[in-house]
Copies of this chain bind each other. A is one copy, B any other.
Amino acid sequence: MNSPGSNDTHAVEQSTRAAALELGQRARAAARLMLSAPDSAKSAALRAMAERLQQGKQALQEANAKDLEAARRNNLPAALVDRLTLSDKALATMTAGLQQIAAMPDPVGIQSTSVVRPNGMRVGQMRVPLGVIGIIYESRPNVTIDAAALCLKSGNATILRGGSEAFHSNQALGEVIRAGLKDAGLPQDAVQVAGTTDRGLVGELVTLTEHIDVIIPRGGKGLIARLAAEAKVPLLKHLDGNCHVYIDAAADLDKAHDIAVNAKTYRYGICGTMETLLVHRDVAGAILPRLAATLRDKGVELRGCEQTQALVSGVGPATDEDWATEYLEPILAIRVVDDLQQAIEHIARWSSGHTESIVTENLPAATRFQREVDSSSVYINLPTCFADGFEYGLGAEIGISTNRLHARGPVGLEGLTTYKWVLTGDGQLRG
């Protein structure tokens, strides 16, 4: 007993590791059982959860009240308290989400077009669940329901690890989920809400490669960067949405004006918001003063290159730091470029690979931009704020990925599945 402090630390680490391992093992066992779960059972579970959310409203709001009290005691900003609140409206939105996901077509089991090889064997691919998905998120308790629903519908087992601010709310929502799974005869470990907010648990989960197949972090850039540094389990994530709109020489300037305004002002805080506007020098004089006036009326601060500053008075200088920044604020960086080539190079250098758009009526320019810009979404004549699974027709979205492997851009149910090769023969032999 020479160093009791270090022994205590060791004991805590051990117990955290054991807790992570138990979550992982239970999830893996549940994932195996989920392989034979028909869509009728998955949808029934989601509908049962929807019903229980409404029936259990009082208990949920009582649990939520404990979190809200702690939040006020800790002087959390009003916006955070607002997100944390399980109001009647928030619960109604979650209920509707469950019903909507229940009604979506099952992504599991879908078989691709298959081919018959010269020897007569048939080769195809079948969509299957990814396996075990970990979700690590911050204060919004609605993520507990939304993420659980999408992962369950796609046949996965899920480990949910929410923030300490929403601990009581998440535990209560976890009970609703377990009860719904039980109602439908599905394994209750198919969705587990971690019963501790011990910070060490996150570090254990992101290295549990044997039992967790992918982790989806939902939260601020700080959380995600920290997880990425520690993780051995693959993360499905994006860090930044530094999105660009390029107004080409052949743009319809009315469309360009409206697209740029919408891309910047639809909502300042979402990842698809335009952060830098690139304008071809041939049309900069015709579009920039008018566009600047509209944006300023809406309270947007403008920062620009020298040419922009020459065309619009009162614009501050944009530096390399501006080109690199996802403002998430009513600020816009503007650069006048010599040509399409320079626009593509600017994007290659500064973009975070999220979403970019060209405004042009010229087909070769549009085609070249869409081929050569290497981001997860590339648009023609659309504002970048369309970057959203619902808008793409995915029905729902677990998040947006700027990874290059697996799922890119908005990730819906299909992104929560993988495939296996399925071959059928009649005794063909090799060699």
**Interface on A for B, CB 8 Å cutoff?**
32, 35-36, 109, 115, 117, 121, 123, 126, 128, 130-131, 213-214, 234, 252, 254-255, 258-259, 262, 266-267, 348, 366, 368, 370-372, 374-383, 385-386, 391-393, 404-406, 408-410, 418-431
Contact = CB atoms under 8 A, between A and B. Distances in A.
15 contacts: A36-B372, A109-B371, A126-B370, A126-B371, A130-B405, A258-B427, A266-B429, A370-B424, A378-B420, A379-B423, A380-B424, A383-B429, A385-B431, A386-B423, A405-B418
Given A258-B427, A259-B429, A408-B418, A36 B380 contact: no
A252 B427 contact: yes
Contact of A382 (B121, B374, B420): B121
Nearest to A262: B429
Contact of A420 (B123, B375, B430): B375
Given A126-B370, A214-B405, A378-B420, A430 B259 contact: no
B428 A377 contact: no
A268 to B, nearest CB: 13
Given A404-B213, A426-B381, A427-B252, A392 B421 contact: yes
Nearest to A35: B372
A430 B392 CA distance: 12
A298 to B, nearest CB: 14
A131 B375 CA distance: 11
A130 B408 CA distance: 11
A117 B393 contact: yes
Which of A404, A408, A424, A428 neighbours the largest number of chain B CB atoms within 10 Å of its CB? Answer: A404
Which of A128, A392, A420 neighbours the largest number of chain B CB atoms within 10 Å of its CB? Answer: A420
B421 A378 contact: yes
A406 B408 contact: no
Nearest to A129: B374
A128 B379 CA distance: 15
Contacts of A123: 392-393
B430 A386 contact: yes
A421 B377 contact: yes
Contacts of A121: 382, 386
A422 B418 CA distance: 22
Contacts of A36: 368, 371-372
Contact of A381 (B366, B418, B427): B427
Contact of A380 (B126, B266, B425, B430): B425
A419 B376 CA distance: 8
Given A36-B372, A348-B32, A430-B383, A420 B409 contact: yes
Given A409-B420, A420-B376, A255 B404 contact: no
Nearest to A111: B370
Contacts of A408: 418-421
Contacts of A117: 391-393
A83 B214 CA distance: 38
Contacts of A421: 376-378, 392, 408-410
Given A36-B371, A255-B427, A391-B430, 11 more contacts: A117-B393, A123-B393, A131-B374, A214-B405, A262-B429, A375-B420, A378-B420, A379-B425, A381-B427, A383-B429, A409-B420
